[in-house]
Amino acid sequence: MHSKTVRYIRNLYKSNGTIHLHAPRFIGNEQKYMGNCIETAEVSAEGEYVPRFEAMVCDYSKAAHAVALNSAESALRVALALAGGWAGTEVLTQPLAYAGTANTISSVGAVPIFIDVERDTMGMDPSRLKEFLAYNAEMRDDGLCYNRNTQRRIAACVPVHTLGYPCRVDALKEVCDEHNIMLIEDASDAFGSLYRDKMAGRYGHVGFYAFEGHKSITCGDGGVLVTDDAELAEKARLLSDATRLSHPLDAPLEGGRLSCRMSNLNAAVGCAQMEHVQTLVERQRDLARRYKEFYEAMEDWEDELAFYTAKKKVCQPNCWLSALIFEETEERDAFVAATNAQNVQTRTLWPLANELPQFAQCQSTDVPNARWLQQHIAILPGGVRV
């Protein structure tokens, strides 16, 4: 099954070289637009591409406002500042996620709280969130939500659309609204993923997408914060544009002031990529369909293996990366080792964030589902084939 996989993937990508977990594809005007930036010397704040890229993201995601920043991490920092989720507050997030999410929360002085995920979405479990808040939180006279154990304000909730599979954001939103907690969707991986009739990232008060080199669409590096709230968008621009806007620099802004706007050069690449967004996302989906057929036809593995699929009725994931579920962890580990030994990059999910040493003291629900997924899943190469 390991060598069959390697052969199948090499054949798909028509390559005997290293097959990367996800490699960027440039099929359009990237060079031309970057050349324009150089010619006009508009490589940084000035230039046409940042507003154009923001407009393209709005158009595709149907968000009213988009603010282009230099990374997804910056987008989360700005979003936390919008929520007042700064020093001395607490922020709900999930144990199964790239550690950057929880690290960013603690880098602004907030304390993460970990809520387990659902097995069938890999995203935060709304019923566990509701239960956690029922036992640990209280609403105070100021209308805000506080942790009864620590007396700290719970300012925000940051679920993650893992690998591009949408989590149950509508249910999460309902719980957050009941507690006056800002919902910030980490849709880093989910640009183009639909949940019900809207794109993932569009249910929260704020959402953000990542555009670094391994994502479905890339700017080289970048992140975009989206919201329908004009006031939040305006505040996000002020927060992120420390050195550029003509805004009184001594005016206090909650969360301080960052310098993390996207450059015109990065946006130029993003614009060229966005011209092909439908094609690139459809090709990812096509790859996932092929994987599914391939593994479902592998009879000798029928009982031991499943292809991870999103809840069909409500989700249409962008299929950024596909995943296999192994019955036995040893089999999973053997698969990851064997494929990597043959230069086909596969991997496991991240170590659970609540178990990282820097978060050992943080509050957490028990995490049976996150642990199960961490032990059973292998991720397959997901880069778009040319």
Ligand X SMILES: *Cc1c(COP(=O)(O)O)cnc(C)c1O
Tokens representing 174 are 């309902």
CA angle 217, 351, 21 (to 5 degrees): 35
- Contact region for ligand X (CB under 6 A) — 96-104, 283-291, 295-303, 326-334? 96-104
Which residue number, 225 or 362, has a Cβ lying nearer to ligand X? 225
User: How many residues make contact with ligand X (CB under 6 A)?
Assistant: 15
Q: Which residue in the set 30, 42, 54, 73 belongs to the binding site for ligand X (CB under 6 A)?
A: 73
Can residue 72 be called a binding residue for ligand X (CB under 6 A)?
yes
Measured from the CB of residue 176, what is the shortest distance to ligand X in angstroms?
19
- Contact region for ligand X (CB under 6 A) — 181-189, 245-253, 336-344, 360-368? 181-189
Q: Which residue in the set 24, 95, 100, 382 belongs to the binding site for ligand X (CB under 6 A)?
A: 100
Residues 7-46 that bind ligand X (CB under 6 A): none
Which residue number, 90 or 186, has a Cβ lying nearer to ligand X? 186
Which residue number, 71 or 369, has a Cβ lying nearer to ligand X? 71
Strands 305-307 and 322-326: antiparallel
Measured from the CB of residue 210, what is the shortest distance to ligand X in angstroms?
4
Which residue number, 98 or 146, has a Cβ lying nearer to ligand X? 98
Can residue 160 be called a binding residue for ligand X (CB under 6 A)?
yes
Q: Which residue in the set 71, 93, 322, 369 belongs to the binding site for ligand X (CB under 6 A)?
A: 71
Can residue 266 be called a binding residue for ligand X (CB under 6 A)?
no
Measured from the CB of residue 163, what is the shortest distance to ligand X in angstroms?
8
155 Cβ partners below 8 Å, 6+ apart? 80, 83, 84, 85, 86, 89, 90, 91, 110, 181, 182
Can residue 118 be called a binding residue for ligand X (CB under 6 A)?
no
Can residue 210 be called a binding residue for ligand X (CB under 6 A)?
yes
The C-alpha atoms of residue 121 and residue 103 are separated, in whole angstroms, by: 23
**Cα dihedral angle (307, 124, 236, 214), rounded to 10 degrees?**
-20
Measured from the CB of residue 41, what is the shortest distance to ligand X in angstroms?
26
The C-alpha atoms of residue 160 and residue 185 are separated, in whole angstroms, by: 6
Which residue bears the tokens 């967004």? Answer: 277
Measured from the CB of residue 334, what is the shortest distance to ligand X in angstroms?
26
Can residue 125 be called a binding residue for ligand X (CB under 6 A)?
no
Which residue number, 5 or 101, has a Cβ lying nearer to ligand X? 101
Query: 339: part of which helix (H) or strand (E)?
Result: helix 329-341
67 Cβ partners below 8 Å, 6+ apart? 54, 75, 78, 224, 225, 226, 233, 236, 237, 240
- 139-143 long-range contacts, CB within 8 A, separation 24+: 139/179, 139/180, 143/180
| Interface residues toward ligand X, by CB under 6 A | 71-73, 97-98, 100-101, 160, 186, 188-189, 210, 212, 215, 223
